């Protein structure tokens, strides 16, 4: 683990990559960045009307029309955009070539760039350089990746907010405060023989309390943040033959899981997403919940319970044609008390077969204390009401999100929790009048955890994990 220096590192090896998706398109972009890229670009590019053109002398943010050649002649006509250090994405000298979007053309130009001295960029290497050179912090780099991969409006919004750096600013303020206290404590250690107290313990105790409270709020925002980013983890649970697979298929409009009359045919779980009112729901259809004799089934049942434990929302589907619901009501109440973190909705299925549906639904509402709606998964009835109920799960989250900063990544969540634990330890040590050295150690540890989030403290393993998820060219 190293701490990042404030000065800019030397420009890196020249790297090249295709920045646009593979395939046929109107245009494609290749980008190069690093030491000597203007020389490399100059060797393959001829500017129309100005044979004496040199990239090294061109102004930043200027575009030049010309052609790219290899030893055998013309490859394509292109526009070359010049970006000069430090005013580029990577803060190094860069050139972006916009060419015609055919895969063969693009590969040809890439090959010439590699022949002329570029190395093929690793996934996320441009963004990694932007981070290492101090243009963006780690949170913002991750937000760029998340924005590219966003599959819903809310995921996109959370990524944009993170890219703007609100969370970064909060964490930075926190880090500065911790750093100050740490410095004072360490000064005391230097003067340990003289028994001085530069950092008043009562004040420190109070400051750490405030910081810990802020950390706790961020940690607590994770469930909402995750829902905004990844969608609502929704489990469709219920006895075999209640209609789970049918409901899943109707909601998705797809024939994905096999619907069958035999109890227990959904052996494993499958996960699919659908969008309703800008919110993504990640639906899991679990294997039938029953005491199974068969080994495969048994494993499936265990997995089902694990999935339910991770859910934000449980849609419990119940067969209205049953004569007696006592067992089902007991099971629903059991789920409610066991999975307190999840919201629960009861979907009373097969209203097309059950006479007296409205009365039964009302009874179920009273017996379970849950939202209950009558549906026919097979006929598609009542599904709008069900989806409305499901989306009340996220009502207010948008507003909450605008008003405060949300933590959306597991990595950040864990680091914040560790930082909060370290502060808790520090406060206990202060309370018991422990040695300065021990308190300083806990504060340093909290500092490191907070620093790891924004990348002030660099951990190679974390960097690799983050940037490996990017595509090449980003
Ligand atoms: P699962 O075991 O809970 O996944 O249940 P399935 O989705 O496989 O459904 C069991 C049986 O009930 C199948 O024969 C479905 O066609 C039938 N079924 C499901 N929903 C309805 C419904 O709303 N009305 C009627 N009449 N039959 C349904």
Residue 285 sits in the same domain as residue 235: yes
Q: What residue owns the CA closest to ligand 1's atom 14?
A: 261
Distance separating alpha carbons of residues 354 and 179, to the nearest angstrom: 67
Q: What are phi and psi of 188, to 5 degrees?
A: -60, -40
Average pLDDT, stretch 341-349? 93
Distance 238 CA to ligand 1 centre (A): 12
Does residue 243's CB lie within 6 angstroms of at least one atom of ligand 1? yes
Residue 388 sits in the same domain as residue 410: no
Output the pLDDT for position 291.
46
**Residue 326 CB neighbour total at 10 angstroms:** 9
Tokens of 365: 């509402």
Distance 259 CA to ligand 1 centre (A): 7
∠ at Cα 383 (379, 386), nearest 5°?
A: 145
Classify the phi-psi angles of 73: left when phi > 0, otherwise alpha if psi is within -120 to 50, otherwise beta: left
- How is residue 431 annotated by DSSP? H
Distance 265 CA to ligand 1 centre (A): 12
Whether the pLDDT of residue 258 is over 60: the answer is no
Q: How many percent of the chain have pLDDT more than 90?
A: 55
Average pLDDT, stretch 37-62? 95
Residue 236 sits in the same domain as residue 382: yes
Does residue 378's CB lie within 6 angstroms of at least one atom of ligand 1? yes
Output the pLDDT for position 260.
45
Does residue 349's CB lie within 6 angstroms of at least one atom of ligand 1? yes
Among the residue ranges 17-21, 91-95, 273-277, 422-426, the one predicted with the least confidence is: 273-277
Pocket test for ligand 1, best of 235, 243, 285, 347 (most atoms within 8 A of CB): 243
Q: What is the CATH number of the domain that holds 272?
A: 3.40.50.300
Task: For tokens 């994905």, name the residue.
Answer: 256
Q: How confident is the model at residue 87 (pLDDT cuts 50, 70, 90)?
A: very high
Residue 270 sits in the same domain as residue 342: yes
∠ at Cα 350 (349, 356), nearest 5°?
A: 100
∠ at Cα 30 (24, 32), nearest 5°?
A: 165
Where among 359, 383, 399 does a domain terminate? 399
For the complex shown, is ipTM > 0.95?
A: yes
Q: How many percent of the chain have pLDDT more than 70?
A: 88
Whether the pLDDT of residue 372 is over 60: the answer is yes
Output the pLDDT for position 289.
52
- How is residue 345 annotated by DSSP? E
Output the pLDDT for position 40.
98
Please give the number of the atom of ligand 1 that sits closest to the Cα of 249.
Answer: 7
Write out the DSSP string of 92-114: S-EEEEEEEE-HHHHHHHHHHHH
Q: How confident is the model at residue 119 (pLDDT cuts 50, 70, 90)?
A: very high
Please give the number of the atom of ligand 1 that sits closest to the Cα of 266.
Answer: 4
Output the pLDDT for position 403.
52
* Domain range enclosing 156: 143-221+406-454
Q: With H, G, I as helix, E, B as strand and everything else as coil, classify residue 238.
A: coil
| Sequence-ordered alpha helix ranges (H) in 221-351 | 222-230, 244-252, 295-310, 326-338
Does residue 377's CB lie within 6 angstroms of at least one atom of ligand 1? yes
Average pLDDT, stretch 190-216? 88
| Sequence-ordered alpha helix ranges (H) in 191-286 | 201-220, 222-230, 244-252
Average pLDDT, stretch 111-140? 94
Output the pLDDT for position 364.
94
Range picked from 32-46, 238-252, 401-415, 455-469 for highest mean pLDDT? 32-46
Q: What is the CATH number of the domain that holds 206?
A: 1.20.120.430
Q: What residue owns the CA closest to ligand 1's atom 9?
A: 243
Please state the domain count of the chain. 3
264 is known to lie in a ligand binding site: yes
């Amino acid at each position: 683990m190293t701490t990042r220096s404030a000065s800019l590192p030397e420009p890196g090896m020249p790297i090249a990559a295709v920045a646009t998706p593979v395939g046929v398109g109107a245009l494609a972009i290749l980008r190069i960045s690093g030491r000597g890229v203007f020389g490399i670009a100059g060797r393959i590019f001829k500017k129309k009307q100005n044979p004496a053109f040199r990239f090294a002398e061109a102004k930043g943010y200027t575009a030049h029309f010309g052609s790219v050649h290899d030893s055998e002649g013309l490859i394509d006509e292109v526009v070359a955009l010049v970006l000069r250090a430090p005013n580029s994405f990577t803060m190094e000298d860069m050139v972006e070539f916009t060419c015609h979007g055919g895969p063969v053309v693009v590969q040809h130009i890439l090959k010439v760039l590699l022949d002329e001295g570029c190395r093929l960029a690793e996934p996320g290497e441009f963004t990694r350089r932007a981070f290492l050179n101090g243009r963006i912090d780690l949170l913002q780099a991750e937000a760029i990746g998340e924005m590219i991969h966003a599959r819903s409006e809310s995921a996109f919004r959370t990524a944009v907010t993170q890219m703007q750096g609100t969370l970064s600013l909060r964490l930075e303020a926190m880090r500065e405060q911790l750093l100050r206290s740490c410095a004072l404590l360490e000064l005391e250690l230097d003067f340990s023989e003289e028994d001085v107290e530069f950092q008043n313990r009562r004040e420190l105790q109070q400051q750490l309390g405030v910081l810990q409270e802020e950390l706790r709020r961020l940690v607590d925002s994770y469930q909402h943040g995750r829902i905004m980013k990844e969608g609502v983890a929704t489990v469709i649970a219920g006895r075999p033959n209640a209609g789970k697979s049918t409901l899943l298929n109707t909601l998705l409009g797809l024939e994905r899981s096999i619907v069958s009359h035999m109890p227990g045919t959904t052996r494993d779980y499958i996960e699919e997403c659908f969008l309703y009112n800008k919110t993504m729901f990640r639906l899991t259809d679990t294997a039938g919940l029953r005491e199974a004799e068969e080994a495969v089934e048994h494993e499936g049942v265990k997995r089902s319970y694990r999935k339910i434990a991770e859910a934000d929302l449980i849609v419990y589907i119940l067969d209205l044609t049953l004569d007696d619901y006592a067992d089902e009501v007991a099971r629903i109440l059991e789920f409610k008390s066991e999975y307190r973190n999840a919201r629960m909705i009861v979907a009373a299925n097969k209203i097309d077969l059950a006479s007296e549906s409205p009365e039964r639904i009302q009874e179920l509402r009273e017996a379970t204390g849950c939202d209950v709606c009558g549906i026919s998964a097979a006929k598609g009835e009542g599904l709008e009401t069900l989806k409305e109920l499901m989306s009340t799960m996220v009502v207010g989250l948008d507003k909450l999100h605008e008003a405060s900063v949300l933590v959306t990544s597991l990595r950040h969540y864990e680091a914040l929790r560790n930082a909060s634990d370290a502060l808790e330890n520090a406060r206990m040590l202060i309370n018991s009048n422990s040695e300065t050295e021990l308190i300083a150690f806990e504060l340093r540890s909290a500092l490191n955890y907070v620093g790891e989030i924004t990348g002030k403290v660099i951990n190679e393993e974390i960097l690799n994990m983050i940037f490996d998820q990017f595509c090449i060219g980003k």
